[in-house]
Structure 1
Amino acid sequence: MEPAQKERTPFSDIDGLTAQMSEMVLAALTEMGQHPEIRRVRRAGFDALRPALGARLLDAGSGSGEVARRLAAEVGPRGEVTALDYSAAITAAAIARHDKSNVRYVTGDVGALDLADDCVDGVWCERVLQHVDDADRAIGELCRVTRPGGRICLIDTDWESLAFDGVPPRLWDEVWSYVGGHFTPKQRDMGRTLRRRLVAAGLTGLTATPVTCLFGSPDSAAVVLPMVNPRVPEDAWQTPPGLRDEWLACVEAAGARGDFLAVLTIWVVAGTV
């Protein structure tokens, strides 16, 4: 069976990257997880999932495992967290960072889970579905492995909500026309579609929380937004000569003036199977 992940952004096919790029992506994932705005998103997710002591949880698309390890602390020693990621390299990095909590690290495809029916009490799936070929198939798999009455929490980005202030709108529109297709997934509106998808999957007790992330400086924004990050290699931009440098210079100038602003909405949607 073909994997569910799309081969579009670096986050979609980490094992296919060079060692240098793989390390860069891992560092980016770690840095994002430490960002105050991403932590705010995750707090909303924990409130929606409501992990209980003794629960068996699945972190579907677990990255370097920081959320899985936090979930393990919530469910306690009698609970268990399965941290599943598509990338063997990222899974190895997660294992290297293991803190002896009750987390089991595995590789797998969210669209074809090698897990039994009704085997977990809850699922966390953060910023994964935007990268898969068939999000509804993946949601079906998450529902299949969750026992009746279990809770599923989906977190994903609405990239079409991305907006800037302090930089020329015309210039951003031109940059977006080039970088939008390879700095963001094809499914740019995934975040706002999550509630509809869970309704279609038959979940009840739905909650949907849009978290607007605010970035008041280029340095803060660059942690989450590759299009303002000067560390992203120049050949990844695929823009006409001079456009990248002009854009980044405007971003830097806005930061120096103190009037730079970027906003991005990330949705936290949860429901009961």
Structure 2
Amino acid sequence: MEPAQKERTPFADIDGLPASMSAMVLDALTEMGRHTEIRRVRRVAFDMLRPRPGQRLLDAGSGSGDVARRLAAEVSPTGEVIALDHSASITAAAVARHDGSNVRYVTGDVGAMDLPSDSVDGVWCERVLQHVDSADRSIGELIRVTRPGGRICLIDTDWSSLGFDGMPAGLGEVVMAHVRGHFTPKQHDMGRTLRRRLVANGLSGITATPVTCVFTTPESAAVVLPMVNPRVPEETWATPPGLRDEWLACVDAAGASGTFLAVLTIWVVAGTVPG
């Protein structure tokens, strides 16, 4: 993923983290990819991207490479996937997990890619733009490297949609006011802006689908929502003394009573590059 705003989340500059925290982020990426709700989001995105045999695709912000390897299966036997990520450590981990499919792993900046123009048939970009300095510049780069008639599929979170139930009224809002920019990016509404950004760039056949992820246990939510994950180190919280423990105690109580609920909307937006 690209460098982020001054207010950084752990996912924005993975190589700048201590080794233990970097390993935790990689584990989090892997766990998220296996989560039933994230897999549901990705099924929608696959339907929108419509990968076909023989295509050359770009996974921009490829993380551990799980999606890139799945895309490679769709474009095989003659197609190729370029898995690009800003983090050298995450790219190395992705290479270590390679399954022999036709994936080429590279490090690079989504906002300034070292790829020729019109060089790929389609782009997958999942939960990256919320972390970058300029989403429009990055989208411009994704369009530049995609041939006319190619598809671009953007997946991103609308963190302002995050809501909880089962906890004391107002406590979640207090916690979120402190953790925004630490656990959630400053660009908290990125998901809902994707359609507008593709319209502004002249893409055609744009489809925009909101997928609301529902978490009915703290354990399920903790995979995607760091503010309910007790394994996240206390020093990464930006809350006043005692608020983190009060919040997590309420989360545990709601889980024990069966009343816990968290919801978060992730948008899947795709369009065709003009030409």
Distance 2:220 2:49 in 1: 28
Which moved further from structure 2: 170-179 or 184-193?
170-179
- For residues 48 and 79 of structure 1, what CA distance do their matches in structure 2 show? 18
Query: Is 1:195 matched up with 2:195?
Result: yes
AA of the residue aligned to 1:6: Q
User: Runs of 4+ in structure 1 displaced over 2 angstroms?
Assistant: 3-7
Q: How does 1:7-156 map to 2 (within 5 A)?
A: 8-156=8-156
Please give the residue correspondences for 1:197-212 in structure 2 after superposition, counting only pairs within 5 Å: 197-212=197-212
Structure 2 equivalent of residue 6 of structure 1:
5
- Check conservation: 2:3, 2:13, Cα contact below 8 A: no
* Identity rate, percent: 78
Q: Secondary structure at the match of 1:231?
A: coil
- State the 1:4 CA deviation: 4.9
Determine the C-alpha separation between the residues in 2 that align with 1:169 and 1:71. Answer: 43
Q: Deviations over 1:9-64 (max 9, x none)?
A: 01000000010000000000000000000000000000000001100000000000
* C-alpha distance in 1 between matches for 2:3 and 2:140: 13
Tell me how far apart the structure 2 counterparts of residues 5 and 116 of structure 1 sit (CA, whole Å). 25
**1:132-186 per-position Cα deviation (integer Å, ceiling 9, x unaligned):** 0000010000000000000000000000000000011221121111112211111
Q: Please tell me whether the aligned partners of residues 4 and 111 of structure 1 are also in contact (alpha carbons under 8 angstroms).
A: no
Equivalents in 1 of 2:3, 2:141: separation in Å?
Answer: 12
Q: Distance in 1 between matches of 2:236 and 2:90?
A: 21
- Match in the other structure for 2:260: 260
Contact 1:151 1:272 (C-alpha < 8 Å) held by counterparts = yes
Aligned partners of 1:4, 1:181: CA distance in 2, in Å?
A: 13
1:271 partnered with 2:271 = yes
CA distance in 1, matches of 2:37, 2:5: 26
- Tell me, in whole angstroms, the C-alpha distance in 2 between the residues paired with 1:67 and 1:169: 38
Query: What is the alpha-carbon distance in structure 1 between the residues aligned to residue 170 and residue 130 of structure 2?
Result: 27
Query: Helix, strand or coil for the counterpart of 2:208?
Result: strand
Structure 1 SS opposite 2:211: strand
Amino acid at match of 1:194: L
Distance (whole Å) between structure 2 residues aligned to residue 192 and residue 205 of structure 1: 17
Deviations 1:186-235 (A, max 9, x none): 10000000000000011000000000000000000000000000000011
Structure 2 CA distance for aligned equivalents of residues 145 and 242 of structure 1: 49
SS in 2 for 1:12: coil
State whether residues 151 and 271 of structure 1, in contact with CA within 8 Å, keep that contact through their aligned partners in structure 2: yes
Taking the aligned partners of 2:245 and 2:55, their CA distance within structure 1 comes to: 50
1:101-157 deviations in Å (ceiling 9; x for gaps): 000000000000100010000000000000000000100000000000000000000
RMSD of aligned residue pairs (Cα, Å): 0.8
TM-score (norm 1): 0.98
Structure 1 unaligned blocks of 5 or more: none
Does the Cα contact within 8 Å between 1:124 and 1:152 map onto a contact in 2? Answer: yes
Q: 1:33 to 1:139 in 2, by over 3 A?
A: same
Aligned partner letter, 1:104: R
Tell me the distance in 2 between the aligned counterparts of 1:31 and 1:118.
34
Which runs of 5 or more residues in structure 2 are unaligned? Answer: none
